[in-house]
Amino acid sequence: MTVSLKSDHKSKLYIHLLFWILYYILEVYLDFYWSRYQFPSFKWQLRLQNTVILELGYLLVKIPLAYSLLYVYEKVHINKIFKYILCALIVILAVLGHRFFTHDIIYPYIYGVTETLDGKQPSSFINGLVAFNSFMDLIFMVGLVFGIEITRQKNLLKDQISQLKSEKLDQELTMLKAQINPHFLFNTLNNIYGMALKKADETPDVILQLSKIMRYNIYEAAEKNISIEKDIENIKDFIQIQKIRHHHLSVHLQESIDNPSQEISPLILIQFVENAFKHGVSESLGNAFISIDIELKDRILTYCIENSKEEKPHQHSTKIGLKNIRRQLELLYPKHKLTVENKTDRYIVHLKIDFNDPSNL
């Protein structure tokens, strides 16, 4: 369970303890108010003292009744008919206990009088009217306890479901990110391998840049959110690696960030840049280009990438990567806006994320 049993028991103890304190205060107030009509000759100090003792005595009947019924309701697994019979027996015993305490202890020993129905006629131990009053008093209290406990359990279940959903989303996001890192590493190592075969002078620089990027992917990307400044810096490192290999490539990066510390989920933005290089540059003929425009203003991110396109692209070359990105955006920023334009000679991607939206993870 996402919520520990120890924490649940502690919460239950505090809630029920608070209930009984408030319930006791209410009962003392009501009985003290009633006693001035029942015993007008008593001084208020004596009436208050008697009421305090009276209600403490009633708690000795009410608390065992409430939790006996709760135990039968929650823990005892028997036929419903037998369960109802057992509950009825418990209530009958509680009513008898309530009557005994009232008839044989409260009136003769605390009030010093005989219990009466109308102030004149003595009441017997078992009388239909007084027994019904005892029954209603007990059932009202039991209803309150059950209502509080059921509400508490529903709230607890709601919290558990919310936590489970959050954990499931976190696991799915982690899995989606894990699909990106090996993909990027595989492509870059292939590039380094090709440069090493040619004994290119830039090979050590590319390895150094790759080391920096992998350090980011391992440590920074493990965080739920990072600053957009760090995410853009990682994009720049990635571009630098690609530019070393693609000398003919024209890359234009424009950024306008009014809050560099704005948090964003890592590895979201760079995936579009990866796609631009993989599907629009490395396989393109002639002059290849990538144009990246990142703007953050008033916690609203506008992200646009435009890249050249090969003449005969593979039909399914971008579907898996784009599907991955879309799923991450759905989980992290449900109300984002993403459009992908597939034109004859270029791809254009527009992404808008409003960080003010409370639905964001």
Asked if residue 287 is part of any domain, the answer here is yes
For the record, the structure tokens of 129 come out as 């009217």
CATH code, 219: 3.30.565.10
Specify whether 139 is located in the same domain as 217: no
Q: 242: closest CA among 272, 293, 279, 277?
A: 277
User: pLDDT of 75-110, one tens digit each?
Assistant: 888 888 998 999 999 999 999 988 888 888 887 887
Judge whether residue 25 has pLDDT over 90.
yes
pLDDT-derived band at 219 (thresholds 50, 70, 90) equals: confident
Asked if residue 176 is part of any domain, the answer here is no
Spatial neighbors of 44 by CB under 8 A, at least 6 apart, are 36
Chain-centre distance of CA 329, in angstroms?
A: 19
Tell which of 134, 161, 188 closes a domain.
161
Residues 195 and 202: their CA atoms lie apart, in Å, by 8
Judge whether residue 254 has pLDDT over 60.
yes
Tell which of 161, 179, 214 closes a domain.
161
Specify whether 227 is located in the same domain as 117: no
Specify whether 157 is located in the same domain as 227: no
User: pLDDT of 52-78, one tens digit each?
Assistant: 888 888 899 999 999 999 999 888 888
Asked if residue 169 is part of any domain, the answer here is no
With the C-alpha atoms ordered 38, 41, 44, 47, is the resulting torsion angle positive or negative?
negative
Specify whether 76 is located in the same domain as 209: no
Judge whether residue 283 has pLDDT over 80.
no
For the chain, where are the alpha helices, taking DSSP H only? 5-38, 44-74, 80-100, 128-197, 203-219, 228-245, 269-280, 319-332
pLDDT at 246: 72
Specify whether 206 is located in the same domain as 124: no
Specify whether 213 is located in the same domain as 343: yes
Asked if residue 187 is part of any domain, the answer here is no
Asked if residue 247 is part of any domain, the answer here is yes
> How many structural domains compose the chain?
2
Asked if residue 168 is part of any domain, the answer here is no
Specify whether 125 is located in the same domain as 13: yes
Specify whether 240 is located in the same domain as 335: yes
Asked if residue 195 is part of any domain, the answer here is no
Specify whether 273 is located in the same domain as 345: yes
Judge whether residue 258 has pLDDT over 90.
yes
pLDDT at 2: 46
Reading phi first (left if > 0) and then psi (alpha if -120 to 50, else beta), residue 85 is in: alpha
User: pLDDT of 120-157, one tens digit each?
Assistant: 666 776 777 778 888 998 999 999 999 999 998 888 88
Judge whether residue 38 has pLDDT over 90.
no
Specify whether 128 is located in the same domain as 235: no
Specify whether 133 is located in the same domain as 213: no
Average pLDDT, the chain: 82
Tell which of 110, 132, 161 closes a domain.
161
Asked if residue 191 is part of any domain, the answer here is no
Judge whether residue 222 has pLDDT over 90.
no
Q: What percent of the chain shows pLDDT beyond 90? A: 29
Specify whether 275 is located in the same domain as 155: no
| Host domain of residue 96 | 5-161
Q: Please state the φ and ψ torsions of residue 191, each to the nearest 5 degrees.
A: -65, -45
